Amino acid sequence: MVKYSLVGYDGSDAARRAFQFAIDLARCGHGRVRVVSVLQITEGGADACALMMADSGSRRAQELLDELTAIVPDAAALVDVELIHGSPGDVLLSQVDQHAVDHIVIGHTERGALARWLLGSVSENVLARAHVPVTVVR
């Protein structure tokens, strides 16, 4: 039985569907959902990252929780929310061991071959490297 699911959340329609799926699963098994939003820093390096984290971390976490409760009104009672800077696939996989996650739920967004080649695919990365069950929601 799944007790603690992890959802990678980026605000997309696919992420919303993944979140809803994880909430439904948590309700069936009296579990919880850990929602992680990964922020990627592409310019400015470590200094920009530290400034961004200090300036907007708690505000953005509250905005994320507000967004999730708009999808599922009682979400606050079922979820843990965290914003982390890094590479999405690496961050999600590191959460499994750090927080005893026993299931990962991620949304899949269709992209063309060029976009997958340039940007990679978080779902493919997680599927290839995870050592817990993964559900990809389309």
> pLDDT tens for residues 86-105?
989 999 999 999 999 999 99
Q: Looking at per-residue confidence, does 85 or 21 come out higher?
A: 21
Q: How many CA atoms lie within 13 A of 96 on its CB side?
A: 17
Q: Give the torsion sign (CA, 45, 93, 109, 66).
A: negative
> pLDDT tens for residues 14-56?
999 999 999 999 999 999 999 999 987 665 556 555 655 555 6
What ranges in the chain are assigned the alpha helix state H? 13-29, 45-71, 88-98, 113-119, 122-129
Average pLDDT over residues 103-123: 69
Matching residue, tokens 């890094």:
86
Average pLDDT over residues 62-75: 95
The whole-model pTM stands at 0.84
Kindly report the CATH number that applies to the domain delimited by 4-137: 3.40.50.620
DSSP 2: -
What Rg, from alpha-carbon coordinates, does the chain have?
Answer: 15
Domain assignments of the chain as residue spans, ordered by start: 4-137
